[in-house]
Every structure is written in structure tokens, then in C-alpha cells.
Chain A
Amino acid sequence: MSGVRAGSEGWLEPALESVHELLQARPPGDYAEVRLEEGSGLDMVQAGRDLESCDPFRSTGGLARVLAEGRWGTCAFTEETDPAMALDRALEMARASGMPPLPRPLSPSCPVASRHDNPLEPLAEVPVRDKAFHCRRYTELMASSARGASVMAHYREHQRTRAVVGSLGTKVVEFESLCGMALQMSGPGGISVSRSLAHRGGYEYLRHREHLVEEMADAYSTMQGGAAPRSGSYRIILDQRLAGILVHEAFGHLSEADLVHSHPFLADLFAMNALVAPDTVTICDDATLCGNPGSYSFDDEGEPGGRTVLLDRGRVAGRLHTLSTAAAAGVSTTGNARAVDYRNPPRARMSCTFMEAGEHSLQELMAIMGDGLYLEGAVSGSTNLHRFTITAERATEVCGGSPGRVLGPATVTGSVPSVLGSITALGDEVRMHSGIGGCTRGNRGHLPVSYGGPHMLVEGIDVL
């Protein structure tokens, strides 16, 4: 295995070696694992003419996990704490735990490997003032193309080296570089147009994005005076970003093994092999979609990331597993154990989740729909696992298969089983999306994810 390279500032490599030796020589409990992270980042907001914030941070620490008599204990620590002491505290937690023991032993695949992003323009090599310049340039362009609008550019970057060492031999290192930007223009009457882009790679991704501002200005001008659509039930076409959010919120979370196992009601509705959608619908989670936020080579238990088919031609086909949920279910992990950072234990989470393409162009979908709404742009999305709510930036009336008046924002809601069963037709092109935030399940911060899908025609969905 090659050593720790880019992104490391000198703490991680010796810590990794000493933890490795410790776990090989004297592993506490039945199984022990330490995840180490060394990272830094920058958060910058340009609001109008003012650089509202420019906040760099560095964050280095780890998470020790010990499985003793089938029960987990965990202890997170920052760099000044000896990992050996954190392992002792984790063992203490495991012994104090009232959890029922895992029914089967864990089956880690114990990889020994490393993977490093090699971006064209490493984030650390681009001066802060260049990043500030770009934020200012994009806000100036927005301000000049939409007079009177409030404009904002929000830049965020994060680079970290992440290592996982396990007492059965796992030893992996991965260097990740993530950056993104959100642009927003808003005006009177609640008009708001935003674009968000993020990727796993270098700063080059954010250069020469002026065309985004042009798109935003066009959208902003068409929304002037547009009222929100009337409440009611509509036929709706979701654009690819909204389709991705629906996939993530409405179905993806139900595929996270720990969540669905917690709710017998949902486990029954979405039992393996249950038919929950038309046979045109296939949904996958794929951690190997390189370049997308949420992709990775190794998860936060050190297991290789992979592709999991969650819904195969309308039938529930898989769940996203960690070592623990896999042991409980008697299957293999899918490599979806993820945590926002070293302060959090890993849980079963999505990576890059998408619906596969159908066969129709957008025009064909509109023709099939006849009358309804075409929703574009995403403001927000949420779910309580059974109901979901998604807010679109704007709705366009479609009459007789042709687009008409552009309206304001629209919030749609529905139950997951009914919306999955109401997907009528799919577009022929999948696009992946992500933003500078991420998935916030459990209020534990933003976990980078990507989501996508084709244009999606849905029958009878409620607009609030």
C-alpha cells in the first residue's frame, strides 16, 4: 500500500501506523476499528458587493469502535487525544451498552489499499483571493443580468484524507477533494432562481461557468409576475434534478437497512421482491460513479463501495448495508457505511442514487401528459419515510402537450407508495446532480451525496 500523500499534514500517517500496530498486537474486544481523518476546508459567501464570510477550517481526529460480546461502543476524538485511550473509552461504552448483541459475527473483507484524487487544480494550491475573485465575479454577472435582484454566491470546499484500520487486517486510505458553488438571485414576490454545482475533484470544475448565470437570468426573467400554481392534484413532469430528489427522498432512505428495519410498517410495505412501481422503474445506488460527490472507493468501515440495485423493474431488489446491518440480516455489506465526519459513527447511507432512463424525449412526455405542470429546479426536499415534500423553483403550465405560462414555485407532496405506483413514463436521459450541502438525515451535518434520474411523468400528485 502506498503511504499517505496529498491532503495529509503529518498527523495521520504516524497515527495510522501506531493504531495498526496496536490493533494487530492487542485488539480490544472481539473486533475493533479506528477511522482517522485529516482535513481542511473553506466556506465563503459573497452577498451582493460584500464578502459576507470567508471561513477556513481544519479538522483532524478519529473514531474508535469496539465490538465486545456482540455490542458496539464508540468514541470520537480530536487529534490531541491518544487513539489508544479512545479505544479504551470505546470498550467502556460497549461494556456499558444495553444493546442486544449482534446475532452473527461481522464479515469484513479486510482490504488493504489506497486511493487518491489527483485533481488538475488542487484546492490547496488555489489562493483564497482567487476563490474570492470568482465569487465576486459571478455575483457581479448576476447583478448586471437581473437588475434589482439580490444576488449571492456561496463557495465551499473540503479535502480530507480518510483512513480505516481494523483488527482483522483492514487498512485503507483515501484522499478526497470536494468543491462546489451555489449561485442565487432572488427578487420581489418570492422569485428565486438558483444553481448549485459540486464535484469530487479540483478547482478547475468551477472556472468558466458564466453560462450558468445566463441560464439563471433567462429563468428569472420568465418568472416575473408568475403566480404559484393553484392547489390541487395534477399530472406532473419532474425535471432531472427533481426526479433525483424524489428518488433520494422518497425511495432512497427506505433502502437504508437500519431505517427500514426500524419500522416494521415500512419493512412490510417495501419487503424484498415486493412490486412497488411499474416495470419501467429501476433505481440504483452506485458509490463508484467517480467525480460525483458521494462517490468513494472505501466506505467508513473500510469496505469497498459498489453498485447496488435497489429497485429492479419495479420490484424491491436490495438494501444498503453496513457490516452490522448486514450481519443482522445475514447478508454481505454493500459498502454503504458512511458518516459525515470522524465525530459520527457510520450508518447505512446512500452514495450516488439514481433512476435509470426510460425511452421518451421531454417533448414526448409532454405530449403523453397532455395537460399538467412541468416542474423545474429544486428548492428543498424532505421525507418522514412515508410522506415526502419537494419544492420546485418554478412550474410551467402544459396545455395539450405544449408548454405555456411560467408560474412561481410549487410544493408537491404525496405518499411514497402512491407516487412510486403513479410513475407513468420516463425520459431518455439521466443527469446526476448534487449541491454544496448534502443529505442531513439525523441532523448530523451534510453528507455529500449525488442523485439523479430522467424526466419523470407522474399521475395525480398533490400541489400544495
Chain B
Amino acid sequence: MSSEAFPGRSVERLEGAAERLLEMADGVSASAEVVGTAVDEESVEVLYGGEIAPHRTLSSFLSLRIVRGGRLGGAGGTSATPGKLLDMAISTARVGPEAGFRFPGSITPAAVHILDPRVEETGCSELAGAMERLRDRTAGAYPYSSLEGSMSVRRLRVGIHNSRGLKAEYRKALLEWDLQLLVPTSDGLVTFTSAAATCRHTSLPGASLLADVPEHGQLSDTTGPVSGEVPVVFAPEAMSVLLQPVRVGVSGRSLLAGSSPLRNMEGGQVFSPAVTLLDRPLMELGAGSAPFDAEGTGTRDKPLFDRGLFEGFVFDLATASMAGAESTGNAGREYDTPPYPVVTNLDMAAGELDIPGLLELADGGYLVCGFQGGNSDTVTGDFTLDAGAAFAVRDGNLDARLRRLTVSGNAYRLLSRVRGLSRQRRLSGRDVLPYVCVEAVDCG
């Protein structure tokens, strides 16, 4: 770490501001809730010419929600002038939705390990060193490649207070990276991506960038895709993109909007029996892990799909009250938004095959390492995506690189045609995912 964490007594000052705001809000509303978040972040970013720039962020935010005249209002922002936040919350309570729930009065925080001191103590110099090592490694494989993106360590203190007496807090430190490796070839740029977040110490973030490239010559041996339906193995980075409509579809907000394709599907076989998908806010050192959610409800792990059967939606307090359900402890919020239901860490159960075994299932098809553009409808699940890097699969091995590959279809239907999953899993985003082989994928 470069210097003292949270300098200038910023955490104490934020706590004081949060208490003042709650007291003020309590005086003009039926009930109130304040979330305070202090952030001390150190990051490095690769700049022009490959230079590595260090950056620090010291910030604190308050998020307020009130019930006034039976309606919900809220506001969020930086913390020095709580009175302004209260004025804004009062103005939105005039048009806000009816409050059909009460803030929780107490909490039994779940036991979850989210603070790794080695991450908390990581500073810019360590991050810059990791970026240098990664660049050396990728440049060793591809001398003319460009590594882009950033790595950061974000230390968070999150506290929640409400007028029913709830007072709870936690701290955690997140290691995050968002990296792209661009490799020039005779037919354009091949893109490899690695973007993830975790509370676990990792000696070389982004080391998976070249995980799917077996040897140096592989990129120059190219072929064009054959249009049609073929089996495809999706690497965890690609699968994470394809799961985005599912994240939206399991949200209680989508259920209430009538837009979720999963409406009336509880207990039904939606995906292949090979697919078990869990929401795991109690994952040890998971980036989305926390002992309570953004409105103070205790968190718990839960299956979303058990051997392909849809187990149910995730709710915060507001959507649960409207759906006649209980909160599942899945409220998330940005500092400037009210809570909304979110999945935390997605965990897809591993399969039984090693990667060569999985590739054998995809003989005559393709391996997609990640996506670099296209269009995805997160409501319906329809997508048309360009692969950033993809390879043909022949006899259980990776063959030539595809000069370009477009994959299209529907994420829900795709997950109903899973042929197999790998034993090996990898962190992508906040998710832990295997390689997934899907049959009859529309490619061109």
C-alpha cells in the first residue's frame, strides 16, 4: 500500500455524516435508511506507448431512502452536505412508488470470509509489478501484441443504519482487473480478454489471457467458419457474457415488469440437466460476497437452476412485497440508485470432463474464447455476437484459428442444449464458471 488507508479520518467522518442524515431524515419521514460507503482505491492503467499510470481514489458516498406520505423517495451522492440529499429525497417521495414493506429492524449477519489482508495491503507498486510481469509474459508469446486495461485494489467500508434501529457494517478489499490483449495478425486483430473481481489474493491477475492458446503458431494458421449449426465450447469468459440475460431474467424486477422469460417457469425444466447454477453471496472471498445485502437483509446461498430446473427469482424488499414473497437478500445498489434485486456471485457447477474430453464432444465445431462486439437483448436472451478469438476443433484438439466467427441464438435455448461441462472452472467477472459445450449453435 502506498500510504495510510482511508487517510484524513474519512471513515469516521462518513459515519458522522450518516448518523446526522438519518437523524434529519427521521424527523421528516415515517422511516429512513442510510447507507454509507467509503472507498480507498489504488489502480494502475496501461497508457499510450505501454506506460503504466498509477492512480488513487479517496471517496465516500451516502445513499438515503425514506418513506414519506406512504411513498418511497431517495437520493445518493457525496457525503459532505447531507441536507441536500434529504431535500432531493423529499422531492422524489412526491412521485415515488408506494412503500409496501418495512425496513428490517435487526439483522443476523451471515458468516462469510471477505477480507484477505494480502489484498487489503496491495498497493500501486505491487499492481504495477503484476502488470509488468503479465506484459512480459504476453509479449513473450506475441512480440507485437498490445496489453490494455487496468488492475486495481478497492478497499470498501460499508455501513447501513435505519430508523428501526438497524446498524451494521462490513469491510472488504477487492482485487479487480479488466484486460485486453490485442494480437495483430495478417487478417486483423485477435482479441483476448480477462475481466474479473475477487477478494482473494492472486499473484498474477489476468494470467488466464492466453489460457486457451496452446502454442505460438496457432494464431497464424487460419480458416474461415462454415455457416450452420455446430457444437461449440464456450470458455468461461464467453459463458459469462451469455449468462447476462439470465442475470436479468431471474431478477424479481423482471418478473414484476412481466418481461422475464422465466415467468411461470418455477420448478420447470428450463436448462439442460447438466446445468446447476447458484447465486452465492457467501462464497469465500467472492467479489459479490457480503454478510448482508444493500438494505440490511442477511444473505444466503441459493440455487437458481438445479439440474436445469428453475428454482425461483431473487428479490429485494420492494420487489418481494409486490410479488407476495420474502426478500432473498439480493438487494444491490449503486451510491446513486435505490436498491434493486441482483445476483451476486454466479457459480456454475463443474462437469466431469477435462478440457480435451470436452473438445472431443465438440469435434467439427469451435472453441470461443470470448466476445468482442455484437448485440445482445438482455430481456429476451437473443444475441448476435462476434468472437474475439475462436478456434476450430478437430479430433479433440484445437486446430486453426477462425479469421472471424459470429455466434447467434438465444441464451436460454443455448443453455437447454448443453452437452457437457469441464471439471476446470475459472473466475470471470464475479462468476466461477466451467467451459461449456453446447450442441447445434448457429455460427457463421
Query: A150 with B259: in contact, given A58-B78, A386-B188 (CB under 8 Å)?
Result: yes
**Cβ of B189 under 8 Å from chain A:** yes
Q: Say which residue of A50, A89, A257, A379 sits within 8 Å of B7 (CB atoms).
A: A89
Q: In B77-96, which residues have CB < 8 Å from any A CB?
A: 77-81, 84-85, 88-89, 91-92, 94-96
Query: Number of residue pairs across A and B with beta carbons under 8 Å?
Result: 240
**If A80-B10, A96-B124, A387-B188 touch, does A53 touch B54 (CB 8 Å cutoff)?**
no
Encode B26-47 as 1/0 by CB contact (under 8 A) with A: 0000000000000000000111
A343 within 8 A of B: yes
Instruction: Assess the B85–A190 pair: CB atoms within 8 A.
Output: no
Cα–Cα distance between A325 and B51 once the two chains are bound (Å): 12
Contact in complex: A411, B84 (CB < 8 Å): no
B84 touches A58 (CB 8 A): yes
The distance in angstroms between the C-alpha atoms of A73 and B57, with both chains bound, is: 11
Chain B residues closer than 8 Å to A50, beta-carbon distance: 97
Determine whether A311 belongs to the interface, using a CB cutoff of 8 Å to chain B.
Answer: no
List residues of chain B with CB within 8 A of the CB of A48: 257
Question: Known: A74-B53, A413-B386. Contact between A56 and B92, CB under 8 A?
Answer: yes
Cβ-defined contact, A58 with B88, below 8 A: yes
Give the size of the chain B interface in residues (CB under 8 angstroms).
83
Residues of A within 8 A of B208 (CB): none
Bitwise, B345-379 to A at CB < 8 A (1) or not (0) is 00000000000000000000000000011110100
Q: Closest residue of chain B to A257, judged by CB?
A: B48
Checking B61, B91, B132, B184 against A78 with a beta-carbon cut-off of 8 angstroms, the contacting residue is B61
The answer to whether B189 touches A384, judged by C-beta atoms less than 8 angstroms apart, is yes
Asked if B227 lies at the interface with its beta carbon under 8 angstroms from chain A, I say: yes
Contact A78 B59 (CB under 8 A): yes
8 Å CB contact of A55 from B17, B74, B384? B74
Other-chain contact of A100, B51, B75, B89, B148 (Cβ < 8 Å): B51
> Does any Cβ of A come within 8 Å of B2's Cβ?
yes
Do A190 and B380 form a contact, CB below 8 Å, given A59-B78, A128-B91, A379-B375? yes
For residue B29, give the distance in angstroms from its CB to the closest CB of chain A.
16
| Chain A positions within 8 Å of B224 at CB level | none
- A147 within 8 A of partner (CB): no
Known: A77-B58, A262-B49. A128 touches B94 (CB 8 A): yes
Question: Is the CB of B19 closer than 8 A to any CB of chain A?
Answer: no
A:421-458 near B, CB below 8 Å: 442-443
B125 touching A96, Cβ below 8 Å? yes
Q: Find B77's partner among A51, A59, A411 (CB 8 Å cutoff).
A: A59
Q: Do A54 and B386 have beta carbons less than 8 Å apart?
A: no
Cβ contact of B337, chosen from A55, A58, A59, cutoff 8 A: A55
Which B residue sits closest to A127, measured CB to CB?
Answer: B91
- Whether A74 lies near B375 (C-beta < 8 A) is no
- Complex-state Cα separation, A264 to B74, whole angstroms: 49
B13 in contact (CB, < 8 A): yes
A339-384 at interface with B (beta carbon < 8 Å): 343, 345, 348, 379-380, 382-384
- Contact assessment for A61 and B78 in the assembled complex, using a CB-CB cutoff below 8 Å: yes
Q: What total of chain A residues lie within 8 Å of the partner, measured CB to CB?
A: 81
Residue of B94, B95, B182 contacting most chain A CB atoms (<10 Å)? B95
Query: Does B408 touch A at the CB level, under 8 Å?
Result: yes
Q: Considering the complex, give the chain B residue whose CB is closest to the CB of A47.
A: B257
The reply to whether A51 and B95 form a contact with Cβ atoms under 8 Å apart is: yes
B324 within 8 A of A: no
Is B144 interfacial (CB 8 A cutoff)? yes
Q: Is B50 an interface residue (CB 8 A)?
A: yes
Please tell me if the beta carbons of B60 and A80 are within 8 angstroms of each other in the complex.
Answer: yes
Instruction: Determine the chain B residues whose CB is within 8 A of the CB of A379 once the complex forms.
Output: 375
- Given known pairs A77-B58, A262-B48, A345-B55, the reply for A391 and B375 (CB within 8 Å) is yes
- Distance A380 CA – B46 CA, assembled complex (angstroms): 27
Inter-chain pairs besides A57-B336, A77-B59, 5 sampled, C-beta below 8 Å:
A78-B58, A100-B49, A100-B51, A190-B382, A413-B386
Residues on B facing A (Cβ under 8 Å)? 2-3, 7-8, 10, 13-14, 17, 45-61, 73-81, 84-85, 88-89, 91-92, 94-97, 123-125, 128, 132, 144, 146, 148-150, 178, 180, 182, 184, 188-189, 191, 227, 257-259, 335-338, 372-375, 377, 380, 382, 384, 386, 388, 404, 406, 408, 444
List residues of A whose CB falls within 8 A of some B CB: 9, 11, 40-41, 43, 47-48, 50-61, 72-82, 85-86, 89-90, 92-94, 96-100, 127-129, 132, 150, 190, 231, 257-259, 261-265, 324-325, 328, 343, 345, 348, 379-380, 382-389, 391, 409, 411, 413, 415, 442-443, 464
